[in-house]
Amino acid sequence: MNIFTNLLERQMEEKAREMKLTVLHRPGGRWHHAEMLRLFPLSAEVASHPQHTEYIILLGHHTKEKVLEVLLGGQQFTATQVTGIESKGLPFIPSFM
Protein backbone atom coordinates (compact mmCIF):
# COMPACT_ATOMS: atom_id res chain seq x y z
CA MET A 1 0.00 0.00 0.00
CA ASN A 2 1.48 3.35 -0.92
CA ILE A 3 1.60 6.45 1.28
CA PHE A 4 -1.05 8.30 -0.73
CA THR A 5 -3.57 5.45 -0.42
CA ASN A 6 -2.87 5.13 3.30
CA LEU A 7 -3.37 8.88 3.83
CA LEU A 8 -6.61 8.83 1.83
CA GLU A 9 -7.98 5.93 3.91
CA ARG A 10 -7.15 7.76 7.15
CA GLN A 11 -8.91 10.89 5.94
CA MET A 12 -12.01 8.87 5.00
CA GLU A 13 -12.04 7.14 8.39
CA GLU A 14 -11.73 10.48 10.17
CA LYS A 15 -14.60 11.98 8.16
CA ALA A 16 -16.76 8.93 8.95
CA ARG A 17 -16.07 9.40 12.68
CA GLU A 18 -17.01 13.10 12.47
CA MET A 19 -20.02 12.74 10.16
CA LYS A 20 -23.21 14.26 11.55
CA LEU A 21 -26.33 12.15 11.08
CA THR A 22 -29.98 12.26 12.09
CA VAL A 23 -31.78 8.99 12.85
CA LEU A 24 -35.55 9.07 12.37
CA HIS A 25 -37.36 6.26 14.18
CA ARG A 26 -41.00 5.34 13.92
CA PRO A 27 -41.55 2.58 16.52
CA GLY A 28 -43.78 -0.16 15.20
CA GLY A 29 -44.23 1.65 11.90
CA ARG A 30 -42.42 2.07 8.63
CA TRP A 31 -41.29 4.90 6.41
CA HIS A 32 -42.86 5.17 2.98
CA HIS A 33 -41.05 6.05 -0.24
CA ALA A 34 -43.10 9.25 -0.66
CA GLU A 35 -41.95 10.45 2.78
CA MET A 36 -38.33 9.75 1.89
CA LEU A 37 -38.69 11.80 -1.30
CA ARG A 38 -40.06 14.75 0.71
CA LEU A 39 -36.90 14.70 2.85
CA PHE A 40 -34.51 15.41 -0.05
CA PRO A 41 -34.77 19.23 0.20
CA LEU A 42 -33.60 18.85 3.80
CA SER A 43 -30.83 16.33 3.10
CA ALA A 44 -29.51 15.10 -0.24
CA GLU A 45 -28.52 11.84 1.45
CA VAL A 46 -31.36 9.73 2.85
CA ALA A 47 -30.82 6.06 3.68
CA SER A 48 -33.16 3.22 4.59
CA HIS A 49 -32.64 -0.51 5.07
CA PRO A 50 -35.09 -3.33 4.23
CA GLN A 51 -34.49 -5.04 7.58
CA HIS A 52 -34.95 -1.79 9.54
CA THR A 53 -38.11 -0.26 8.04
CA GLU A 54 -38.76 1.74 11.23
CA TYR A 55 -35.65 3.86 10.56
CA ILE A 56 -34.38 6.47 8.11
CA ILE A 57 -30.94 8.07 8.38
CA LEU A 58 -30.27 11.58 7.08
CA LEU A 59 -26.91 13.20 6.46
CA GLY A 60 -26.51 16.20 8.78
CA HIS A 61 -28.05 17.17 12.08
CA HIS A 62 -31.74 18.10 11.70
CA THR A 63 -34.36 18.87 14.34
CA LYS A 64 -37.65 17.01 14.56
CA GLU A 65 -39.42 20.32 13.93
CA LYS A 66 -37.56 20.84 10.64
CA VAL A 67 -38.30 17.26 9.56
CA LEU A 68 -42.00 17.73 10.36
CA GLU A 69 -41.98 20.93 8.33
CA VAL A 70 -40.67 19.25 5.16
CA LEU A 71 -42.93 16.21 5.69
CA LEU A 72 -45.94 18.54 6.09
CA GLY A 73 -46.76 16.87 9.40
CA GLY A 74 -47.11 13.13 9.66
CA GLN A 75 -47.08 10.16 11.95
CA GLN A 76 -45.30 9.89 15.28
CA PHE A 77 -41.49 9.51 15.17
CA THR A 78 -38.34 10.46 17.04
CA ALA A 79 -35.35 12.34 15.63
CA THR A 80 -31.97 11.63 17.22
CA GLN A 81 -28.77 13.40 16.23
CA VAL A 82 -25.61 11.28 16.28
CA THR A 83 -22.01 11.82 15.24
CA GLY A 84 -19.96 9.17 13.45
CA ILE A 85 -20.68 5.80 11.95
CA GLU A 86 -19.51 4.06 15.11
CA SER A 87 -22.31 5.64 17.15
CA LYS A 88 -24.44 3.21 19.12
CA GLY A 89 -27.47 5.22 17.94
CA LEU A 90 -27.19 3.91 14.39
CA PRO A 91 -29.43 0.92 13.58
CA PHE A 92 -27.44 0.29 10.35
CA ILE A 93 -24.61 1.83 8.33
CA PRO A 94 -26.20 4.16 5.74
CA SER A 95 -25.54 3.44 2.08
CA PHE A 96 -24.04 6.89 1.53
CA MET A 97 -21.09 6.10 3.81
CATH architecture of 3-83: 2-Layer Sandwich (3.30)
- Burial (0-12, 13-18, 19+ Cβ within 10 Å), 33: exposed
Average pLDDT over residues 34-39: 92
Higher-confidence position of 82 and 1: 82
What are the tens digits of pLDDT across the range 2-25?
877 777 777 777 887 788 999 999
Average pLDDT over residues 64-92: 89
Higher-confidence position of 86 and 36: 36
CB-CB contact of 78 with 68 (8 Å):
no
pTM recorded for the entire structure: 0.83
Average pLDDT over residues 73-82: 88
